[in-house]
Homo-oligomer: A and B are copies of this chain.
Amino acid sequence: EGAGVSTTHRIAVIPGDGIGPEVVAEAEKVLEAACVPAGIALEKKSFPLGAEHWLATGQTLPEETLEEIRDQDAILFGAVGAAPGDTRIPSGLIERDILLKLRFSLDHYVNLRPSELFPGTVSPLRDPGEVDFVVVREGTEGPYAGNGGVLRQGTDQEIATEVSLNTAHGVRRLVRFAFELANSRERKKLTLVHKHNVLVNAGHLYQRTVNAMAAEYPDVTVDYLHVDAVTIFMTTDPSRFDVLVTDNLFGDIITDLAGAITGGIGLAPCGNINADRTAPSMFEPVHGSAPDIAGQQKANPVATILAGAMMLEHLGHPEQAEQIRGAVRHDLEVNGVQARSTAKIGDAIVAALQA
């Protein structure tokens, strides 16, 4: 599309708690700057969800709100969660009843997390090499299914279980997405990450699914690594990775590590994708609400800005998405990771975009 032709997308905005509102404000600024010249209109509707909202109303994510959100084209999400010390809020309640509820209800089966070491950023690794990979994390099953329970709680005989649920349906659609992505990239490499020598049931379902689909993608090189070995290669040879596909919990763990080695999760975006488009997809930073630095303009908005770019790409505007990424790259190249306020970083990226 060009200027003059107008497309409208309805966006649910969930700023959330802590630094969420600050970083979302910058992402909105940058999205605006990328969209307006291209005739793309974002019709935004804000939803006040999070720990603060729960304290005020006793509500996490009511059915009506979920249905309103389901009606939008995409979701821009900041971060939710109480301060670790806040005893008024049961641990994990906000994360489970808002963030995970959105992922599961809207069938965000691909949790997509690209990692790139941008010029101007500082890796804690001595010699990271060129890092540019994507983790395709499962988002709607596995150990996150909320299955399991407690028997005889608080006694000497207590038993607590966690059940990881994995289905052919869930694994296939995930692995399909990962193969398509690998096939579209230059190196065309796909690494399955699991622990199938111990978790034989789930692990072999993943391995059989990858093996069966590999024949359809003769150009894609496939390999396998145990999750423990992945943590080693992430620190000693991260440039070996291209596309990684893995379950919900392993994906959670290795993407925080991936964020760390590429300069911090302040730069790492995440797309919660419903690739069948039966419900809106959701875009967020990998980081959390960081209550300790909230309201101080100390948070880095780049992760959320890059999540905004992923959102534009998902909505059919790869050109504008690439403009945002280019502006982020440019800003990091010029200004590096010097301390600037959240708004200053957002403004600089807008300026780079308009230059």
Residue positions of A touching B, CB distance < 8 A: 84, 91-92, 95-96, 100, 123-127, 143-144, 148-150, 152, 154-169, 195-205, 207-208, 224, 227-229, 231-232, 234-236, 249, 252-257, 259-261, 264-265
Q: Which residues of B contact A235 (CB under 8 A)?
A: 124-125, 235, 257, 260-261
CA–CA, A126 and B122, complex, Å: 10
A267 to chain B, nearest CB (A): 13
A201 touches B232 (CB 8 A): no
Q: Which residues of B contact A161 (CB under 8 A)?
A: 163-166, 201-202
Complex: chain B residue closest to A232, CB-CB: B260
Number of copies: 2
Q: Which residues of B contact A224 (CB under 8 A)?
A: 84
Set B149, B155, B231: member contacting A256, Cβ < 8 A: B231
A160 touches B125 (CB 8 A): no
B265 touches A252 (CB 8 A): no
CB pairs A–B below 8 angstroms (15 shown)? A100-B198, A123-B126, A124-B236, A148-B199, A150-B201, A150-B205, A159-B165, A161-B164, A161-B165, A162-B164, A164-B164, A227-B253, A231-B254, A235-B235, A253-B253
Given contacts A95-B198, A160-B204, A166-B161, whether A253 and B236 have CB atoms under 8 Å apart is no
Given contacts A159-B166, A166-B159, A228-B252, whether A196 and B92 have CB atoms under 8 Å apart is yes
A121 to chain B, nearest CB (A): 13
B168 touches A157 (CB 8 A): yes
Given A157-B168, A160-B205, A231-B231, 15 more A-B residue pairs with CB atoms under 8 Å apart are A92-B200, A100-B198, A143-B162, A143-B199, A155-B168, A156-B168, A157-B167, A159-B168, A160-B204, A161-B163, A195-B249, A228-B257, A231-B253, A232-B257, A232-B265
CA–CA, A323 and B204, complex, Å: 45
Q: Which residues of B contact A123 (CB under 8 A)?
A: 126
Q: Which residues of B contact A253 (CB under 8 A)?
A: 227-228, 231, 253
Q: Which residues of B contact A165 (CB under 8 A)?
A: 159, 161
A109 to chain B, nearest CB (A): 16
Which 4 residue pairs spanning A and B have beta carbons closest together?
A92-B197, A158-B168, A228-B256, A231-B257
A162 touches B260 (CB 8 A): no
A137 to chain B, nearest CB (A): 11
A33 to chain B, nearest CB (A): 31
CA–CA, A235 and B87, complex, Å: 30
A287 to chain B, nearest CB (A): 10
CA–CA, A84 and B223, complex, Å: 11
Q: Which residues of B contact A126 (CB under 8 A)?
A: 123-126
